[in-house]
Structure 1
Amino acid sequence: MIEAYNRDWWRATLALCLGSFTVFINLYAPQPLLPALRHTFGVSTLAVGMIMSLATLALAASLLVFGTLSDAVGRRLIMRVTLLLTTLCTLGLALVQNFEGLLALRVVQGFVLGGLPAVAIAWMGDEFDKRALMLAVALYISANTLGGIGGRIMGGVAAEFGGWHMSFLVVGAVSLVCVAVFWKLLPASRNFQSAPFRLGTAFSAIVGHLRNPTLFGAYLLGGLNFLIFINQYSYITFRLSEMPYGLSTQWLGMIFLTYLGGTLGSALSGRVAQHLPQPLCMMLGVTIFMLGTLVTLSPALPLILIGLTVNAFGFFFAHSMASSWVGRHARVSRGSASALYLVFYYLGASLGGIYLEPFWQVAGWQGVAIASWLILAITFAIAVWLRQHEQVLAAHNAT
């Protein structure tokens, strides 16, 4: 097994972080463009939000396919091929001329985007020891945040100077470079053991994961937290594009620099988890998320940005704990177990607009904040239950 901080650990972790960065610049590049696309195509806030929600829904649907397939054919090939196809889809988006075509290609892109997230943590679980895994997952999720920041800023700035088509060209070109480096850096698997693909066996493994309360609690926590987090950013772009703020596409892209709070939160989570039980870390992350949402209610733009930064810190702190929890506690079919976590994660993202839209229509951003607290209260309770369940298991094992 690869130990933390040796040469192979750094090479593999860098490759997977770069792959993660590539996935998320492609997934989130359109988000700061939503207000402009809404006016360009003359559609509603809910309809234009489908550019994000359909992609994440397709991504969620693909995760079990790739996660289960990876247990049979290996993780490395899936990550390489799907990253390349993701990049080609982004370049194709630059050529689309109508709203329907944009949505259709985003669905295709969402599906291939699932390849790397579905298997990356499972790859680490195969190759890294326990300490190396927790530290690598923290850095990997930090790269998620950097990808989210990079894609939105690149997309917003490029659209400001060359229109929304240019944003996809820029992101596609950057992605090609990242994919080439990823292909070169990622080492071959050494500890992967192939299991012949059988549909019945794969289905049984998925059912087993869902029946495992240790895993299912983490699945719910990750999915519900992301339902709120990512869709808050969609609605904040609508809020800040209107008066009295009136931010342009370029500046709307810049608000995603608040994701740097998540970069810090996920990076610190691996260290904190060496001193505190992971469920306590999840509770801490959710609490911070709730406080950040409170701060965003301020009418002052600087305080709104501070609140979003705090939200990102809390969300990614909890997310990195929940995802590594799954990697540690899945005893069999680790690929499908990690993929199932992400199915809940991205399914939450795709449904968040449907959940938040009525609150937005009735009470604007205040309604979004209330809706957020309702869900976060549930995820805090889940983290409390995971802590109690962990203590029961520890007491049982000690007797």
Structure 2
Amino acid sequence: MIHMRSAAWWRATLALGLGSLLVFINLYAPQPLLPDLREAYGVSTLVVGLVMSVATLSLAVSLLVFGPLSDAIGRDGIMRISLLAAGLLSLALALAPSFEALLLVRALQGFVLGGLPAVAIAWMGDEFEPDAMLAAVGLYIGANTLGGISGRLVGGGMGELGGSAAGFLTVGLITLVGVVIFWKLLPPSRGFTPRRFELSAALADLRGHLLNPLLLSAYLLGGLNFLIFINQYSYITFRLAAPPFSLGSTLLGLVFLTYLGGTLGSSLSGRLVRHLSQPACMMLGIVIFMVGTLVTLADSLPLILLGLTINAFGFFVAHSMASSWVGRHARQGRGSASALYLVFYYSGASLGVFWLEPFWSLGGWGGVALGSWLILGVTLSIAAWLRRWRPDGNAGR
């Protein structure tokens, strides 16, 4: 097992962090371009949101494949090959001749992007000691935020300079270079024990995870929180692209620097859990998220950015705790258990536009805030239930 702060720990954590960065660069590069794409193709906010939704939905579907498959054939090869395919598909996006073709390639890209997140935390569970895993998960999720920021900065900046094709080409080239580094850095797996893949066994594992209240609660909490978090960013681009702010694609990309609050939150989550139980940390993160949403109601751009930063901090504290909770409490099929968490997580992202669109249409950003608080109230209740649940005297830890 890999010990905390050892050379192998740093090498593995760096590799998985780089892989995470590459996944989210590819996933989120189009987001600051949504207002421009809406105008270019003459579609509604709901339809242009499919550029993000089809990718996250197909990613969620792929997790049901990659998670159980990794329990049978191993995790290393899945991560390497899927990252390579994602980079090649970014290059293909630059050549898409129509909006429909763009959506098709995004769906394919979303599917292969699921390869790394489906198995990375399970890989850590196989290879790291428990304390080393908690610290590594926080840094790994911190890399998620850096990838999200980088993708949006590249997408927005290159989109304004040379159009969306330039953005996709740049992301594709960055990914291919990163894959070479990832391939060399990732240590060989030593703690993995293969299980022969059997469909009935895989379905039984998934059923067992869904019937485990500790896991199902974390799945719902992660999915519903992400439903709000990621779609708030989509709607804030429409708000800030309109008067009185009238921000262009490059400046909209810079808005996503507020994700750095999430980098800090996920990195600090390992320290917080030394003083509070994991469910208590989830509750704290959700409350911070609710406060940040309140701040975004201001008419001042600096206060809006502050509110988004607070949101990111709170969301990623809760997400880090919920995802590591699954890794600790899965009784069997750790790969499929972690993958199922992400199925809920990314399904939430793809469905959020349908939840928030009526609130946006009726009440603008104030409506989005109201829709957000309704869902966050539900996830806060779930975290509070996890904190109280003590059938064996150890729950809530």
- Normalised to the residue count of structure 1, the TM-score between the two structures is 0.98
Q: Residues of 2 paired with 1:275 and 1:236: CA distance?
A: 35
Which stretches in structure 2 are left out of the alignment for 5+ residues?
A: none
Q: Name the structure 2 match of 1:214.
A: 214
1:288 equivalent in alignment to 2:299: no
Query: Per-residue deviation at 1:393?
Result: 2.6
- Separation (CA, whole Å) in 2 of partners of 1:349 and 1:167: 22
CA distance in 1, matches of 2:330, 2:73: 19
The alpha-carbon deviation at position 221 of structure 1 amounts to 0.2
Superposed displacement of residue 177, structure 1: 1.1
Q: Quote the residue 1:266 is aligned against.
A: 266
Q: Could you report, residue by residue, the CA deviation over 1:46-85 in whole angstroms, capped at 9, with x for unpaired residues?
A: 0000000010000000001000000000000000000000
Amino acid aligned to 1:207: R
Q: CA RMSD in A?
A: 1.0
SS in 2 for 1:95: coil
State how far apart, in whole Å, the 2-side matches of 1:339 and 1:164 are: 31
The alpha carbon displacement at 1:165 in A equals: 0.7
Counterpart in the other structure of 1:190: 190
CA deviations on 1:245-301 (whole Å, 9 max, x unpaired) are 000000000000000000000000011112210000000000000000000000100
The question of 1:356 aligning with 2:375 is answered no
Q: Which residue of 2 aligns with 1:227?
A: 227
Distance 1:194 1:123 in 2: 12
How far apart are residue 331 of structure 1 and its match?
A: 2.1
Amino acid at match of 1:393: D
**Alpha-carbon distance, 1:132 to partner:** 0.3
Within 5 Å, give how 1:350-389 maps onto structure 2: 350-389=350-389
Q: Which amino acid aligns with 1:369?
A: A
Question: 2:394 and 2:192 mapped to 1: Cα distance?
Answer: 33
Deviations 1:23-68 (A, max 9, x none): 0000000000000011111111000000000100000000010000
Number of the residue aligned with 2:315: 315
Question: Which portions of structure 1, spanning 4 or more consecutive aligned residues, are displaced by more than 6 angstroms?
Answer: none
Match for 2:187: what amino acid? P
> Secondary structure of 1:393's partner?
coil
2:249 aligns with 249
2:140 paired residue number:
140
SS in 1 for 2:96: coil
Tell me the CA shift for residue 196 of structure 1: 0.1
> Distance in 2 between the 1:203 and 1:77 partners?
23
Cα gap change, 1:395 to 1:271, in 2 (>3 Å) = closer
Percent of pairs with identical residues: 66
Deviations 1:81-113 (A, max 9, x none): 000000000010011121000000000000000
Query: Partner of 1:394: helix, strand, or coil?
Result: coil
CA distance in 1: counterparts of 2:235 and 2:228, whole angstroms: 11
CA drift of 1:395 comes to 6.2
* CA distance, structure 1, for counterparts of residue 173 and residue 393 of structure 2: 50
Normalization by structure 2: what TM-score? 0.99
State the distance in 2 between where 1:395 and 1:242 align: 51
Q: Which amino acid aligns with 2:253?
A: G
Partner of 2:107: 107
Counterpart Cα distance in 2 of 1:41 and 1:393: 57
- CA offset digits 1:287-338 (Å, max 9, x no partner): 0000000000001000000000000000000000000000111121000000
Superposition map of 1:337-356 within 5 A: 337-356=337-356
Give the 3 Å change call, closer, same or farther, for CA 395–30 of structure 1 in structure 2: closer
- The aligned length equals 396
Partner of 2:117: 117
Tell me the secondary structure at the aligned position of residue 263 of structure 2. helix
- Counterpart in 1 of 2:393? 394
1:322–1:395 distance in 2 versus 1, CA, 3 Å = closer
Residue 20 of structure 2 corresponds to: 20
